[in-house]
Amino acid sequence: MKRRDFVKKGTLSSIAALIGTEVVFGSNMLKGYTPLALQDPDPFKLFNKHKDMVVLNDKPWNIESQAHLLDDNITPNASMFIRNNGLVPEDIDAKNWTLTIDGESVKNKKTYTLQELKSKFEQHTYQLTIECGGNGRAEFNPPAKGNQWTVGAVHCASWTGVRLRDVLQDAGIRNNAVYIGFHAVDKHLSLDPNKEPISRGCPMSKALQDETLLAFKMNGKDIPLIHGYPLRLVAGGWPASVSGKWVNRISIRNKVHDGTKMTGTAYRVPCEPVAPGAKVKDEDMCIIESMPVKSLITYPKSGAIIKKGKSLNIRGHAWAGELEVTKVEYSIDFGSTWKDCKLEAPANRLAWQHFSASVDLPKLGYYEVWARATDTKGNAQPMVLPGWNPKGYLNNACHRIAVKVS
């Protein structure tokens, strides 16, 4: 039973049990009245999140992680950031859930139950790095509107599902297909049923990759509601906005998908670099595809104090969108000199890679440890903010932590 129903039907003593103490003048409450203590949900309890997560917005829910919470190789639910454009759907009926494949370029429009998807197609599990296009937005100047993510809008969980490719091919893909677009059941903030909060997609080449899944499990369990239960599109390495949660329809399009947040300036950057603060025309903005190379020091937590004479063991993860990371280096002198970290191969394509190093800090005092990753094409993270863009996307500047030797 949902808490709200419980409160509606609840007796005074059950309400008291939920609040944890007696409601002193409770018998005066009107029938159906919900006490304030039960009106304002605690997001950490509601979504099973770590108490150090940072709430950026509650309507819609946007909750950021922090570097030190992302230390696990496979991100647990408790540390996964939440990004919503609309209202979290309630009353999900997984038993009667269906996925429809339609669009101009489908050969036969088809609808599958969740059970059919699970039994008809081979299942696959991949660890996939999913980073919000706006991760790092808080640093841009002039500032960009939108959630002020710092570094925590990224996760790499393990996703299990069927390949989108297998399902699209089962329905049949016409030769003129260029893009897919997802549709989901979350509601627009205006509650207007004709408006979708978000409906994005990707070119067929990305849709047909081995690792692009229609997932029904995350870290071996049902996907938590807030991350897309019961069915989620996952397209690792691309802006997380492509990975539609609560998906019930995928359209095979004969043109670039034109759903909500595909057009205008959403998830687009200037096709050519511009000066900070410049006005950019819509037609000069290009859709973000692969995310850029990036890394995060997840241990120790920034602010750590090290005993003199001890070396400092650092570790973290690095990822590079569609590419692999070939090198992670660290610097303790503000980027003047760099040394190699130990770097592991990814668990599979599009999974983040783990790095570690033993860092010698020569004398007492304050240091910063910076990390810099390089991808297979030789692109390295910039030491400071990369190209300014109107919406504050793609900040892949080197992550840094402060440490003190005392």
Ligand X SMILES: Nc1nc2c(c(=O)[nH]1)N[C@H]1C(S)=C(S)[C@@H](COP(=O)(O)O)O[C@H]1N2
**Contact code string over 222-241 relative to Mo ion, x by CB under 5 A:** ------------------xx
Site for ligand X in 127-156 (CB under 6 A): 132
Of the residues 49, 68, 83, 257, which one makes contact with Mo ion according to CB under 5 A: 83
Q: Does 291 bind Mo ion (CB under 5 A)?
A: no
Structure tokens at 252: 């095979």
Q: How far is the CB of 288 from Mo ion (least distance, A)?
A: 10
Site for ligand X in 75-104 (CB under 6 A): 80-86
Burial class (CB in 10 A: 0-12, 13-18, 19+), 178: middle
CB under 8 Å, gap of 24 or more: what pairs does 23-26 form? none
Taking CB under 5 A as the binding criterion, the range among 49-57, 67-75, 76-84, 112-120 that sits at the site for Mo ion is 76-84
Q: What phi and psi, each to the nearest 5 degrees, are found at residue 115? A: -60, -40
Residue 283 CB coordination number (10 Å): 7
Q: How far is the CB of 149 from Mo ion (least distance, A)?
A: 9
Q: How far is the CB of 239 from Mo ion (least distance, A)?
A: 6
Of the residues 144, 156, 162, 184, which one makes contact with ligand X according to CB under 6 A: 184
Site for Mo ion in 41-60 (CB under 5 A): none
Torsion from C-alpha of 254, 260, 261, 263, nearest 10 degrees: 50
Q: Does 243 bind ligand X (CB under 6 A)?
A: yes
**Contact code string over 333-352 relative to Mo ion, x by CB under 5 A:** --------------------
Binding residues for Mo ion, how many (CB under 5 A)?
Answer: 4
* Nearest by Cα to 367 from 336, 323, 324: 336
By C-beta, is 160 or 243 nearer to ligand X?
A: 243
By C-beta, is 71 or 170 nearer to ligand X?
A: 71
Q: How far is the CB of 132 from ligand X (least distance, A)?
A: 3
CA separation for the pair 142, 335 (Å, rounded): 25
* Nearest by Cα to 69 from 272, 301, 233: 301
Of the residues 49, 206, 217, 227, which one makes contact with ligand X according to CB under 6 A: 227
CA separation for the pair 174, 176 (Å, rounded): 5
Of the residues 15, 117, 132, 371, which one makes contact with Mo ion according to CB under 5 A: 132
By C-beta, is 87 or 383 nearer to ligand X?
A: 87
CA separation for the pair 72, 316 (Å, rounded): 9
Of the residues 67, 106, 240, 291, which one makes contact with ligand X according to CB under 6 A: 240
**Which residues, including other chains, have CB under 8 Å from residue 185's CB and lie 6 or more apart?**
89, 92, 246, 248
Q: How far is CA 378 from CA 102, 333, 343, 350, in A?
A: 40, 23, 16, 17
Question: What does the binding site for ligand X look like in residue numbers (CB under 6 A)?
Answer: 80-86, 132, 184, 186, 197-198, 227, 240-241, 243-246
Question: What does the binding site for Mo ion look like in residue numbers (CB under 5 A)?
Answer: 83, 132, 240-241
